[in-house]
Amino acid sequence: METVAENRAFGGIQGVYKHASSATKCDMTFGLFLPEEAQDGPVPVLWYLSGLTCTHENAMVKAGAQSWAAEQGIALVFPDTSPRGEGVANDDAYDLGQGAGFYVNATQAPWASHFQMWDYVAEELPALLGENFAIDLNRQGITGHSMGGHGALTLAMNLPGRFKSVSAFAPISNPTASDWGRKQLSAYLGDDESAWVKHDATLLMKAKGFDGPILIDTGTSDQFIDLLKPEALAHAVAERRQQATLRMQPGYDHSYFFVSTFMEEHVSFHADALYRD
């Protein structure tokens, strides 16, 4: 593993690291913030999954999460959103290919050889972190924005017991019924829609739910709100009587101005769950 950069921040260290991934068969880069408490032993960890077109860097520099994580003594992980490199398949559209992995294991050509983002985020990267850093993998929370909110919710519901809490900023909530989903799921997973179900938060909520607290914020002025379909997930939450706080924030859009505004509340929400036991 290569250390790309390490910078002092809020008493801790904001690092950027690169490693050869066996899941994606290419080099992957991730950001990791370790609070000062990590010098004394393993700390809880909050995963942040980013959205379309993003790298590990977007949330790391725009979300303002490190100050709140330092206050709570929590590590932050910022994975990349897809495999990258000259030999990795891509598409001219911003919502498919590099920068748009959708946190799935692709089964279709030309994506299958590298786009194994589910295995990377769910298995390979946690193991790497546990082996190399002071991270307590028994205390994990997960959050994300847009496509990353979709990933956070689907990972949390598909991996019962892994995460103590899940939150999301403007998640793609019902991708099997949205143009932000049907296009990508068919490209990565094929036309058999039964394979799509585990990657749809609304369908998962109806089938499984989440054994823990959920917090979701979406702006009422989000320019992509018709693609996000927050109402579909809200109906599923109500039908299941799931413990969840779903908020529509007046006047906020899809940008990192929105994300950074509510980041303190999300970090505190996860800290409550991560330190509860």
* CB-count exposure of residue 150 (10 Å: 0-12, 13-18, 19+): buried
Active site residue 56: no
Q: Which amino acid is at 9?
A: A
| Catalytic residue (one of 114, 150, 199, 254) | 254
Question: What φ, ψ does residue 198 adopt, rounded to 5°?
Answer: -70, -5
> In 10 A of CB 179, how many CB atoms?
11
Catalytic residue, candidates 146, 167, 173, 178 = 146
Active-site choice (56, 217, 222, 270): 222
Q: Rounded to the nearest 10 degrees, what angle do helices 65-72 and 256-274 cross at?
A: 10
Catalytic residue list contains 199: no
SS3 of 89, please?
A: coil
Residue 43 DSSP SS3: strand
CB 95 within 8 A of CB 52: yes
Q: How far apart are CA 64 and CA 130, in angstroms?
A: 24
Q: Is 146 a catalytic residue?
A: yes
Tokens of 274: 């991560």
The CA distance from 103 to 122, in Å, is: 9
Active-site residues, by number, are: 146, 222, 254
